[in-house]
Amino acid sequence: MEQIWAPWRIEYIQREKSEGCILCEKPKQSSDAMNYILYRGDKNFVIMNAYPYNPGHLMIAPYRHVANLDELTDEERHEHFAMVSRCIKLLRQAFNPGGFNIGINMGKVAGAGIEEHVHTHIVPRWQGDTNFMPVIAEVRVVPEALAGTYEKLKGKF
């Protein structure tokens, strides 16, 4: 039997769960590299998913704490989707994926992990990036460390 080591996961498993909203807390801090914030706009920001489905898994979130897309102002919504488009272009340049999954999960029943703060996921996809691991072992193998992905993308913004 083959063993796969993912020692960075222990931090997630053992960490004390925060009571606040991370999408509100992280942009208030001054350490963008530590928080994997790649870009700050006027109304929204781009942050890497700390527990990604694939390398380059980004999230775009408004600074304002709102749960639903229809609660965004016209300015917030316009900048939000302009950032989605820009992220797709930058991810193509940096990683050359074969496609993307782009989604917004509003509400717990829709799969929202942070249901109180709307955000858009962008997940780069490659042919064959899903294999037997999620099906057989309920394990996902992400082939690149967050810090490496951050370094590839930070200069592109």
Identified catalytic residue from 65, 78, 117, 119: 119
Q: CA 135 to CA 38: how far, in whole Å?
A: 32
Task: Tell me which amino acid residue 97 is.
Answer: P
Residues 6+ apart with CB under 8 A from 28: none
CB 117 within 8 A of CB 65: yes
In a 10 Å sphere around its CB, with 0-12 CB exposed, 13-18 middle and 19+ buried, how is residue 85 labelled? exposed
Q: Is 119 a catalytic residue?
A: yes
Catalytic residues: 119
